[in-house]
Amino acid sequence: MLNSKEKNKKKECAGKTVASEKITPRSFDYSKWYLDVIAAAELADNSPVRGCMVIRPNGYAIWENIQKILDAMFKETGVVNAYFPLLIPKSFLEAEAEHVEGFAKECALVTHHRLAFNEDGKLVPSGELEEPLIIRPTSETIMYRMYAKWIKSYRDLPLLINQWCNVMRWEMRTRLFLRTSEFLWQEGHTAHATKAEAEEETIQILKIYQKFVEEYLAIPVIPGYKTESEKFAGADYTTTIEAMMQDGKALQSGTSHHLGQNFAKAFSVKFLDENGQEQYVWQTSWGLSTRIIGALIMAHSDDTGLVLPPKIAPTQVVIVSIMNGKDNEAVAAKSNELAKALRLAGLTVKVDNRDGRPGLKYFEWERRGVPVRLEVGPKDIANHSVVAVRRDTGVKAVISEDSLAAGVKEILDAIQVNLFDKALAFRKENTREVNSYEEFKTTLESKSGFLLAHWCGNAECEAKIKEDTKATSRCIPFDQPEENGKCVYCGKASKKRIIFAKAY
């Protein structure tokens, strides 16, 4: 039996205790923690269709911000948006052998165009298609058929098109945001008159991805090249940005591919140059998907719930009214007044004027990752101030009403910087140079993170390392130390270090 003091204590903490039990600690089960954070913040849910997800309003609001910011960055470079069909004729994929081989096992097919009732009253496929249609795993093939129609002269170049859409890649093991059969993304596809222009576009887009992920999502990344075995199917080469999650695993956060003339030759995408000579175009493709929301969750969140950088948070500030019964109207009015002032200053604000214990409301907004909470009660109104609480550190500060907008903006800026610095420090702490295969294996077994190791460039060594350790090559960093070494696996000469890591 509980005594009266224990009962009161239990009553006070009930809301927080129940809410806390929804989040499994990272140190106990990182995978379960990740799913718990998504559930607690109401970001997404598994759908009745196996392997697919429902993105809930809180999660989709993050994706909308990602779209808005990235779309503007693309358009600054001359990129325009279009839309292409969801269904692709099977023969289109067969036209580019290397490309179809890379996606063949993940394709979903439409084979019939209607349903009919059988003798048992069950719906069955009817009206078989002459040619099966593939639900797009990516859109190179169908887009380039159209490019071949549109591009005739050098005056039609460069052609810079992006589309925001969904794609399907049949996955056996799925996890919300990180790996689902259907996901949302943007895919850019460009055509150029010269190889140099296409290469410039490839790197320009990768830099946009890096700028976006680092400056808005506060996630430090390492840009570099994928190895031949890890590059996009059909590309000359692939560039990537790689991020480290809080469990030390890598997550590919955006890729930009130089396609050379491979697809141009397969789909006859040609143009007449200034001398009237027929040439094949040079092409790029690039994409970033809802997987980046998974990265956002794993890079910053804690055992309380979601933590969002202010620049991407759908709600930057929540004003929680502290109700005492008799002053409720005055408190609600003041909260709405302060919210209006903050919105006029360019911030996104929500007001929580609900009745109930403040602690329950505090915890609800904490688990949803709102960067700053403002507490407004009768005493705060009397003092012409509010209490501001940072989501990232929990630090409280009293801000005068007269300087509220400036004070909140200062806190938001500090949170953005702190989240990036914290993630960068973690990555540096968990990135290690290794110079022998024994050291490679021992380090990987005892510690998570990135391993910088010399590699000779032989795909067999890369494959053996993956087979032995489950670590994959993540990228060959652009920024390389000026040193010669020996391949960590075979001992042959090497001029570059490559990042190996276990990955999502």
What are the angstrom distances between the C-alpha of 165 and each of 87, 146, 150, 170, 405? 12, 17, 22, 17, 37
pLDDT for 301-319, tens place per residue? 999 999 999 999 999 999 9
What one-letter code names the amino acid at 474? Answer: R
Residue 390's pLDDT band, with cuts at 50, 70 and 90, is very high
Q: Is the pLDDT of residue 332 over 70?
A: yes
Give the pLDDT confidence score for residue 96 in this predicted structure.
79
Once rounded to an integer, what is the mean pLDDT over residues 437-443? 97
| Spatial contact of 26 and 297, defined as CB atoms under 8 Å apart | no
In the chain, the percentage of residues whose pLDDT exceeds 90 is 89
Give the pLDDT confidence score for residue 325 in this predicted structure.
82
Class in CATH terms, 430-501? alpha beta
Give the pLDDT confidence score for residue 21 in this predicted structure.
61
Q: Is the pLDDT of residue 273 over 50?
A: yes
Cα–Cα distance measured from residue 390 to residue 335, given in angstroms and rounded to the nearest whole number: 18
Q: Is the pLDDT of residue 11 over 60?
A: no
Q: Is the pLDDT of residue 108 over 90?
A: yes
Residue 7's pLDDT band, with cuts at 50, 70 and 90, is very low
Question: Mean pLDDT lowest for which of 78-82, 105-109, 285-289?
Answer: 105-109
pTM (predicted TM-score): 0.93
Cα–Cα distance measured from residue 366 to residue 134, given in angstroms and rounded to the nearest whole number: 43
Once rounded to an integer, what is the mean pLDDT over residues 256-282? 97
Q: Is the pLDDT of residue 105 over 90?
A: no
Q: With CA atoms as reference, report the closest residue to 156 among 285, 277, 276, 271.
A: 271
Count Cα atoms within 13 angstroms, Cβ side, for 339. Answer: 22
pLDDT for 111-166, tens place per residue? 999 999 999 999 999 999 999 999 999 999 999 999 999 999 999 999 999 999 99
CA 411 to chain centre: 25
Contacts of 332 (CB under 8 A, 6+ apart): 321, 323, 351, 353
Give the pLDDT confidence score for residue 29 in this predicted structure.
97
Residue 99's pLDDT band, with cuts at 50, 70 and 90, is confident
As a CATH number, domain 44-83+151-228+235-300 is 3.30.930.10
Class in CATH terms, 317-411? alpha beta
Q: What is the mean pLDDT of the chain?
A: 94
Once rounded to an integer, what is the mean pLDDT over residues 495-499? 95
Segments making up each domain of the chain, as ranges: 44-83+151-228+235-300, 317-411, 430-501
- What secondary structure letter does DSSP report for 305? B
How would you write 138-177 as a 3-class SS string? CCHHHHHHHHHHHCCEHHHCCEEEEEEEEEECCCCCCECC
pLDDT for 467-487, tens place per residue? 999 999 999 999 998 889 999
pLDDT for 14-38, tens place per residue? 334 334 468 999 999 999 999 999 9
Give the pLDDT confidence score for residue 62 in this predicted structure.
98
| Spatial contact of 296 and 219, defined as CB atoms under 8 Å apart | yes
pLDDT for 206-255, tens place per residue? 999 999 999 999 999 999 999 999 999 999 999 999 999 999 999 999 99
Bridging pattern class, strands 372-376 and 317-321:
parallel
| Spatial contact of 139 and 187, defined as CB atoms under 8 Å apart | yes
